[in-house]
């Protein structure tokens, strides 16, 4: 019938009883009311059966089968076939077909392709096609009809059916399927049967649709579960593959790191000879010709340059592999910065480049960071600025401490700048410390901003060819800044300037501005200098005598500025207004002491004090106090030095400044260092509770070395509480985890009966959680293992000077490691761990030391021996493997043992273990070309006292020997 017109189809439909074409067919209640009584009774019986029993069947097959039998048996209707076709959810998804016959039941799902191609696959005259298209309200086919649609005719004639009646299933005005009743009875369906089908079809369709919806939901659920299982399986497989890939990457990164470490080791070994011998030869430069001195200096400088390249490559490899550790702890900011600035300034002087410094007036002395890594960042940035500055140019270096709101404004204002690293959220609204390095050299084009932070690349080929370098400096710097929790920004204009800014959230207190200002209310500060300009760091000629207007305004200083001593004399003659006390500051090279004496006589010697700054210190000869380089000092440091000396001019009253939480206690201790003797420590009463005997022995040795004799040791918290009840201790050291009773509980019990108890936790835990537990329990301080003599000494100093110190608890040291957390010793503080300290006897002279050095490289032996001889150490035994070192240590008592790690017969670690088993107090210092953290960590766990890396030089050896000996003044 395909291709037949609409009019022909209508004529044909009329021939088999179809006269209406209303898609939205309804069954009016009037038809039910007008039906014969027995038909209405049958309809009610079927409705009752459908809604009472029909909903309880498990599936549509059971429902349709029981419905057909109910109609045949109870109502005596000759029903031989019932067909239902329903659309599930949407015609383009799936439809369901159910067919009941006396001896069979069939269920099929029709895929969506059937619906899409139904006009191709079926005749448009097929009953359900007509109903779906809304061309009729019902379909009636009899065996006597002249025309039966071809697909229907096949099964209709084959099954000897006599009558067929079909109705559409209309739901919410949309075609959802259809129902068809068929009979083989020769007389077919009479009008009452057809009327019955019409009146019961809505209820039957509704119940079937409910079952169908449940089936659809079940099918979709099962399908979804299968898809979820498949997807989960795929994801699990993908995750396993990712894990394998990650493991492979980690292995490759570890191998790469090991490769770089081996390369570093192999390069450092000959470097040790080059740098070591050249440094020794330069010590006798006065005995060389100028040409030889220049040659040796070039060898030494290029050896150090090669060492820097090796360090850069190794640092980059560690950062990339995730094996890089930063050690964040409260540190003194001023020495961290000044050493870098001074070093770069001295280097820049060769090209007449000056470094101008500008430090915020409220910049305090303590900051939580890894000071060694911060130095590395600043050294790279200042080093680049020096390299790219023009001869005779200027580098501006500023350190600012700004509030949260000001910082937000600055960031928003500089959005156009390139920022590398994630901008910290600063949800705590902490103040922000910024380090700015600005040079006025060639500049960087904006298109090269991203390039300069990439490894092994520079802004341009011209830059690389002219200035050289590995191209790793800024890449390492940016990664270090990110590791330290900050971000770095870049702004530049070619031919004018380049500025790098580094931002960190500042954890630490501010200076007590109000307290320090109060101390200067009775003091006038007089500046005598020809140049009162911007401070220039590292200048040997003139260190600008400068206290900025910002500093003067912040601290409310009464300032008098004079161009020279004659200008000061003239102003004094004019009876210039001065406060009760006068601090005169002048450059040491410009001081005229006869004119100072004249000014002092006019002011009054009891009211006046002289302060000098610059490179030369003549105060011992003429009196006064030398401030050093003012440009290299924080303003607050300069003012505190002036204040501490002005106290001597006042009437025996020495008011004390209240330290803020972040201010270094060492700043006060430093002022009174000369008053601290072994007797001060001897009067202390100490209690230490730890269930580890080695820790007890270690702390006992450290404290004894400081002069403390009253030390009680216990091995659990219960005993610590008992001892504290009977004795008033100056300091109680508690381990956190002990048998019987832990440190936290012991601390709580002690503070219950003695709230003022000075309890200090000594523990291997380094997370903030444990710090908070300790603070909440009532502890005054918290130090982490491994501890050193400096840590213990500072704790005891706090006890001695408790009356002038803020005893609020500092933040615990945090060990942050990207791949693991481990206890290890660090060179960050250039201080040995003290794991094997000397006993409490006085330190021996260097000339009395007996030293053993084990190294299989003869050149290394000669270098170290000559360095030791230069320091006055003559008694040095040399061996070339670990086995001989053990034998020598068993035969002799050595003050210091230097140990290489890689040696034949027995390596250094194994030898150290054997030596320490026989003599736990042995001082073993590892000297090796290995620079990887895991080698340092392994040496620490073995019990070695310290670690220095090759190439060695006189400064390194002197630094590591200082805690154990006294050097001759010469």
pLDDT, tens digit (0-9, with 9 covering 90-100), for 765-787: 655 667 788 888 888 888 876 56
Q: What pLDDT band is residue 169 in, cutting at 50, 70 and 90?
A: confident
DSSP 966: B
Question: What's the whole-number mean pLDDT along residues 424-436?
Answer: 73
Burial class (CB in 10 A: 0-12, 13-18, 19+), 511: buried
Q: Give the CB-side neighbour count of residue 229, counting CA atoms within 13 A.
A: 6
Cα 596 from chain centroid (whole Å): 55
Question: What's the whole-number mean pLDDT along residues 569-584?
Answer: 88
* Predicted confidence (pLDDT) at residue 730 exceeds the cutoff of 60: yes
* Predicted confidence (pLDDT) at residue 848 exceeds the cutoff of 70: yes
In the prediction, which pLDDT does 747 show?
A: 93
* Predicted confidence (pLDDT) at residue 853 exceeds the cutoff of 90: yes
Q: What pLDDT band is residue 251 in, cutting at 50, 70 and 90?
A: confident
- More confident position, 90 or 244: 244
| Helix-strand-coil split of the chain, %, nearest 5 | 50, 20, 35
Rounded to whole angstroms, the Cα distance separating 67 from 53 reads 10
- More confident position, 468 or 99: 99
In the prediction, which pLDDT does 79 show?
A: 93
Q: What pLDDT band is residue 655 in, cutting at 50, 70 and 90?
A: very low
In the prediction, which pLDDT does 631 show?
A: 67
Picking from 237, 162, 165, 175, the residue whose alpha carbon sits closest to that of residue 209 is 175
Q: Look up residue 360 and give its two tokens.
A: 């915020």
pLDDT in tens, 345-396: 888 888 888 888 888 888 877 788 888 888 888 888 998 888 888 888 899 9
Neighbours of 253 (CB within 10 A): 17
In the prediction, which pLDDT does 673 show?
A: 36
Distances (CA, A) of 251 to 259, 301, 315, 438, 750: 12, 36, 18, 41, 50
Answer for the pair 711, 686: CB distance below 8 angstroms, yes or no.
yes
In the prediction, which pLDDT does 907 show?
A: 87
Question: Which range, of 36-40, 186-190, 238-242, 276-280, averages the lowest pLDDT?
Answer: 276-280
Neighbours of 462 (CB within 10 A): 10
In the prediction, which pLDDT does 7 show?
A: 45
In the prediction, which pLDDT does 457 show?
A: 54
* Predicted confidence (pLDDT) at residue 663 exceeds the cutoff of 50: no
* Predicted confidence (pLDDT) at residue 126 exceeds the cutoff of 90: no
* Predicted confidence (pLDDT) at residue 2 exceeds the cutoff of 80: no
In the prediction, which pLDDT does 171 show?
A: 80
Q: Which of the given ranges, 685-694, 813-822, 888-897, has the highest pLDDT on average?
A: 888-897
* Predicted confidence (pLDDT) at residue 574 exceeds the cutoff of 80: yes
The model's pTM is 0.46
Neighbours of 55 (CB within 10 A): 11
Measured between its terminal Cα atoms, the distance across the chain in Å is: 121
In the prediction, which pLDDT does 428 show?
A: 61
Percent of the chain having pLDDT more than 70?
70
Tokens 């601090």: give the residue: 583
Mean pLDDT of the chain: 75
């Amino acid at each position: 019938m395909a291709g037949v017109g609409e009019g022909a189809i209508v004529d044909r439909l009329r021939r088999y009883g179809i006269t209406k074409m209303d898609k939205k067919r309804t069954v009016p209640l009037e038809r039910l009311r007008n039906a014969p009584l027995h038909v209405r009774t049958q309809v009610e019986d079927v409705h009752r059966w459908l809604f009472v029993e029909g909903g309880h069947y498990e599936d549509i097959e059971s429902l349709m089968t029981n419905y057909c039998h109910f109609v045949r048996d109870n109502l005596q209707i000759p029903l031989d076939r019932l067909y239902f076709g329903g659309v599930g959810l949407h015609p383009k998804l799936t439809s369901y077909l159910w067919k009941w016959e006396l001896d069979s039941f069939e269920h099929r799902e029709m895929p969506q392709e059937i619906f899409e191609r139904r006009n191709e696959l079926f005749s448009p005259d097929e009953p359900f096609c007509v109903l779906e298209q809304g061309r009729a309200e019902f379909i009636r086919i009899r065996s006597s009809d002249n025309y039966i649609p071809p697909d229907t005719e096949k099964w209709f004639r084959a099954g000897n059916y006599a009558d067929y009646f079909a109705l559409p299933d209309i739901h919410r005005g949309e075609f959802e399927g259809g129902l068809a009743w068929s009979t083989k009875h020769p007389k077919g369906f009479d009008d009452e049967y057809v009327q019955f089908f019409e009146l019961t079809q809505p209820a039957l369709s509704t119940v079937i649709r409910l079952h169908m919806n449940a089936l659809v939901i079940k099918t979709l659920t099962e399908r979804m579960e299968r898809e979820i299982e498949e997807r989960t399986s795929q994801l699990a497989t993908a995750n396993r593959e990712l894990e394998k890939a990650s493991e492979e990457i980690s292995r490759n990164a570890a191998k790469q790191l090991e490769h770089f470490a081996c390369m570093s080791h192999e390069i450092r070994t000959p470097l040790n000879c080059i740098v070591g011998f050249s440094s020794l030869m330069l010590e006798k430069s006065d005995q060389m010709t100028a040409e030889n001195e220049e040659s040796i200096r070039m060898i030494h400088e290029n050896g150090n340059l090669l060492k820097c390249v090796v360090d850069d490559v190794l640092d980059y490899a560690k950062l990339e592999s995730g094996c890089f550790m930063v050690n964040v702890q409260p540190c003194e900011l001023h020495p961290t910065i000044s050493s870098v600035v001074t070093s770069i300034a001295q280097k820049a002087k060769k090209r007449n480049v000056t470094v101008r410094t500008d430090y915020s007036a409220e910049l305090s002395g303590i900051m939580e960071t890894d000071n060694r890594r911060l130095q590395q960042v600043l050294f790279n940035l200042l080093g680049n600025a020096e390299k790219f500055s023009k001869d005779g140019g200027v580098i501006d270096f500023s350190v600012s401490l700004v509030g949260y709101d000001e910082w937000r404004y600055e960031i928003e204002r500089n959005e156009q700048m390139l920022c590398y690293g994630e901008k910290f959220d600063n949800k705590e609204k902490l103040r922000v410390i910024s380090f700015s390095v600005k040079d006025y050299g060639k500049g960087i084009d904006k298109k090269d901003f991203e390039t300069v932070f990439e490894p092994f690349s520079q802004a341009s080929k011209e830059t690389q060819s002219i200035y050289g370098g590995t191209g790793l400096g800024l890449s390492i710097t940016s990664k270090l800044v990110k590791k330290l929790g900050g971000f770095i920004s870049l702004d530049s204009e070619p031919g004018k300037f380049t500025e790098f800014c580094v931002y960190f959230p500042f954890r630490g207190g501010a200076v007590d501005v109000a307290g320090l200002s109060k101390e200067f209310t009775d003091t006038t500060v007089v500046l005598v200098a020809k140049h009162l300009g911007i401070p220039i760091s590292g200048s040997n000629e003139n260190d600008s005598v400068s206290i900025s207007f910002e500093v003067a305004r912040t601290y409310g200083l009464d300032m008098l500025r004079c161009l020279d001593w004659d200008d000061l004399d003239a102003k004094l003659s004019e009876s210039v207004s001065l406060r009760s006390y006068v601090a005169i500051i002048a450059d040491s090279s410009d001081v005229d002491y006869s004119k100072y004496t004249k000014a002092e006589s006019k002011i009054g010697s009891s009211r006046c004090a002289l302060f000098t700054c610059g490179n030369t210190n003549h105060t011992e000869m003429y009196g006064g106090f030398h401030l050093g380089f003012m440009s290299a000092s924080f303003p607050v440091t300069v003012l505190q030095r002036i204040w501490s000396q002005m106290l001597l001019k006042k009437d025996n009253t020495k008011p004390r400044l209240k330290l803020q939480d972040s201010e270094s206690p060492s700043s006060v201790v430093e002022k009174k260092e000369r008053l601290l003797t072994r007797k001060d420590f001897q009067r202390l009463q100490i209690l230490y509770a730890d269930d580890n005997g080695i820790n007890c022995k270690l702390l006992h040795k450290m404290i004894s070395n400081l002069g403390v004799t009253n030390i009680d040791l216990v091995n659990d918290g219960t005993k610590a509480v008992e001892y504290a009840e009977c004795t008033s201790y100056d300091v109680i050291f508690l381990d956190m985890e002990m048998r019987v009773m832990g440190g936290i509980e012991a601390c709580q019990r002690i503070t219950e009966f003695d709230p003022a108890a000075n309890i200090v936790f000594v523990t291997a835990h380094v997370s903030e959680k444990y710090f908070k537990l300790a603070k909440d329990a009532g502890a005054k301080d918290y130090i982490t293992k491994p501890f050193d003599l400096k840590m213990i000494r500072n704790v005891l100093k706090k006890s001695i000077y408790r009356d002038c110190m803020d005893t609020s608890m500092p933040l615990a040291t945090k060990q942050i490691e990207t791949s693991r957390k481990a206890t290890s010793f660090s060179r960050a503080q250039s201080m040995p761990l003290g794991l094997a300290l000397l006993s409490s006897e006085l330190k021996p002279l260097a000339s009395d030391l007996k030293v053993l050095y084990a190294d299989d490289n003869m050149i290394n032996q000669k270098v170290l021996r000559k360095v030791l001889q230069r320091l006055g150490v003559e008694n040095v035994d040399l061996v070339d493997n670990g086995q001989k070192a053990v034998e020598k240590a068993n035969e002799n008592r050595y003050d210091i043992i230097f140990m290489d790690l890689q040696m034949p017969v027995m390596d250094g670690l194994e030898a150290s273990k054997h030596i320490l088993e026989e003599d736990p107090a042995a001082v073993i210092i590892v000297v090796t070309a290995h620079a990887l953290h895991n080698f340092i960590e392994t040496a620490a766990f073995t019990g070695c006292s310290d670690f220095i890396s090759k190439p060695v030089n006189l400064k390194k050896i002197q630094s590591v020997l200082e805690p154990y000996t006294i050097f001759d003044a010469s």
